[in-house]
Amino acid sequence: MSTRHPLVEAREALQQGTLTARELLDRHLSIMEKTEPDVRAMVTMTVDMARQQADEADRRLRAGESAPLLGIPVVVKDLIDVEGIPTTAGSRVLVGNVPGASAPAWLALKAAGAVLLGKANTHEFAYGGTTEPTRNPWDLSRMVGGSSGGPAAALAAGFCLGALGSDTAGSIRIPANLCGVAGLKPTRGTVSTEGVIPLSPTLDVVGPMARHAADLIPLFMALVPGSADQLNTSGHLDQLKVGLLSVDGPSDPSAREAVDRVVATLRLAGACVVPVHVDGLPESLGANFTIMGYEAAQYHRQFEDRRDLYTPYVRDRLSEAAAVTSAQYEDARSFAEVLTARVDGLLAEVDVILMRGVAFPAPPAYDPWVLIDGEWRDRDTELCRNTAFANLTGHPVVAVPAMEDAGLPMGIQLVGQRGSDLTLIAVAGELQDRLPGVYP
C-alpha cells in the first residue's frame, strides 16, 4: 500500500525547516540534467528564474510565511503563457512568440509560491495524442500520450512535483494514465483558460497534474482560491456509492484488470459499487471531434500564410477539420447538452463514477496503430474513446494510476458532479493510498 505523497511531503519538510526550497530545486534539477536528454519532456528551461523564486521562497519560509505551493518545483505545458518566456505550442508556427503577460492559471500558482522549472512539451497546438519527441520514462521506446505529454513525462521522470496541463478530449488524463501519474480535468469554467493557446474554446480546460492524486489538492486550491469550501466528509470511501460505468470498445486485458482491482479495493474499503450505464457514450467521441475540429479550423485561419510550417500530421487534421459544417457543429453541441443531462442524472444516483481510462498500456512511439485484443486499431481514436465525453459534459474527472503491468502503468478515471472537484480529488487520493505503489 502506497502513502507516498511527494508534493505534500515536500511542503511539510519545507515548513518544518528540514529542507530548503533551494535544496529541493537543486535535487530536481540534478535529476533533470541526467535524464532529460533521453526523456525530452522540456521545451524551454527557466533555471535562473527558478533559482530566484526558490531563494525568495526560502526567505518567506524563514519569515514564517505559508502558502499552498511555497517552494514547490513545477512545470507548465507550452500552451500556457508566462510573461517573457516563449510560448510555442510545440510548433514552428509560433517561433518567436513571447507573451507580454502571464496566464491567470500560472499567476495563481506563482502567487501560491510555486517555483517554475520551465515549459514542458505538447503535441503541436495540442492537436494530437503523441507529444513527440517526448518519451515515456517507464520505457523510452514508448509514447507518452498527449497532448499534455511533456508535463506527464516530467512528473514521471522526477523533474518536478506538480504541473499544469490542458485537456480537450483527454489531454491531461491520457498521458497521466500512460505515464503513471495523476491528473485532474476540472469542472469546465473552474480554472481560467485566458492566456492559453486554444484548441477548442468550448471544450478546453486547464488543470493540475502530480505524481499522486492527493498532491492535486494543494495545486487545485492554489488554482481556485476558496475551493476548500467544496471539500466535505462524504468523500470517505466507506461512505461512497460508486457507479461502475460500462463502456464500449476494445480493451487490453490489463485495462480490465485495473478496473477490477479498483472495484475490489473500493469494496474492501466499504464503498458500495453498482453497475451503471449512460446512453450515448459511443457517440460522444464523434461529437467531441466535430466540435474540436470546427473550432480549431476557425482559430487556425489566422496562420494560413504559415501553413507550410505545420507538421504534416496537424496540417492534415486541420484540412479535415475545415470540412466540418456549421450544421454538424450545432448538432454536436445539441448532443452535448443531452449527454450532460444524462450524466447529471446518473450522478444524482451515485456519488462517483468509476470507468476505464486509456484502454491499453503505452504503445510504441510513432506507431499510428495500436494492437488491442489481437486487432489493430487507430491509435488516436482509441486513446480518446473513454475520455472525450467529459469535455462535452464539463464534469470533473481524475485520472488515477492503478497498477503496473509488464513494466508499464495502467490507470482508471473517476468522474464527479460538476463543482465537486476537490472532494473528487480527495476520493482519488484515498483510493490511490490503498492501491499498490505505481512509480517509475
pLDDT digits (tens, 9 = 90+) for 292-339: 999 999 999 999 999 999 999 999 999 999 999 999 999 999 999 999
Each residue's pLDDT tens digit, 109-167: 999 999 999 999 999 999 999 999 999 999 999 999 999 999 999 999 999 999 999 99
The whole-chain average pLDDT of the chain stands at 96
Choose the weakest-confidence range: 42-51, 90-99, 220-229, 283-292: 220-229
Amino acid (1-letter code) at residue 119: K
Q: What is d(CA 314, CA 298) in angstroms, rounded to the nearest whole number?
A: 14
Q: Residue 102: which residues within 8 A CB-CB, separation 6 or more?
A: 81, 82, 83, 110, 195
Task: For 319, list phi and psi in degrees, rounded to 5.
Answer: -65, -45
Residue 251 among the catalytic residues: no
Q: What is d(CA 160, CA 147) in angstroms, rounded to the nearest whole number?
A: 18
Residue 2 among the catalytic residues: no
Q: What is d(CA 363, CA 141) in angstroms, rounded to the nearest whole number?
A: 9
Banded pLDDT at 227 (limits 50, 70, 90) = confident
Q: Between these two residues, 436 and 141, which has the higher pLDDT value? A: 141
Stretch 14-41: mean pLDDT:
98
Number of H helices and number of E strands within the chain? Answer: 14, 13
Stretch 202-223: mean pLDDT:
98
Q: What percent of the chain has pLDDT over 90?
A: 94
Each residue's pLDDT tens digit, 172-197: 999 999 999 999 999 999 999 999 99
Strand partners, 245: 276
Tell me what pLDDT residue 440 has: 60
Banded pLDDT at 235 (limits 50, 70, 90) = low
Stretch 98-118: mean pLDDT:
98
Residue carrying the nine cell digits 505551493: 69
Per the residue annotation, which of 91, 102, 148, 171 is the catalytic one? 171
Tell me what pLDDT residue 418 has: 97
Q: What is d(CA 365, CA 357) in angstroms, rounded to the nearest whole number?
A: 19
Banded pLDDT at 233 (limits 50, 70, 90) = very low
How many other C-beta atoms are found inside a 10 Å radius of the C-beta of residue 380?
A: 19
Determine the straight-line distance between the first and last CA of the chain, rounded to whole angstroms.
Answer: 16
Each residue's pLDDT tens digit, 343-375: 999 999 999 999 999 999 999 998 899 999 889
Residue 185 among the catalytic residues: no
Each residue's pLDDT tens digit, 64-86: 999 999 999 999 999 999 999 99
Pairing of strands 162-167, 241-245: unpaired
Side-by-side strand order, sheet with 408-415: 42-45, 115-120, 73-77, 162-167, 205-210, 182-185, 397-405, 408-415, 352-356, 241-245, 272-276
Domain parsing of the chain, residue ranges: 6-280+331-434
Q: What is d(CA 35, CA 166) in angstroms, rounded to the nearest whole number?
A: 24
Amino acid (1-letter code) at residue 285: L
CATH number of 6-280+331-434: 3.90.1300.10
Cβ(294)–Cβ(261) below 8 Å: no
Sign of CA dihedral 280, 282, 286, 289: positive
* Element containing residue 437 per DSSP (H, E): none
Amino acid (1-letter code) at residue 98: V
pTM of model > 0.85: yes
C-alpha dist (Å) from residue 327 to 296, 332, 333 = 16, 9, 10
Per the residue annotation, which of 91, 102, 147, 200 is the catalytic one? 147
Q: What is d(CA 381, CA 161) in angstroms, rounded to the nearest whole number?
A: 30
Sign of CA dihedral 325, 330, 334, 340: positive
Q: What is d(CA 213, CA 434) in angstroms, rounded to the nearest whole number?
A: 12
Tell me what pLDDT residue 2 has: 41
C-alpha dist (Å) from residue 134 to 33, 34, 123, 362 = 15, 15, 9, 13
Tell me what pLDDT residue 226 has: 84
Q: What is d(CA 325, CA 205) in angstroms, rounded to the nearest whole number?
A: 24
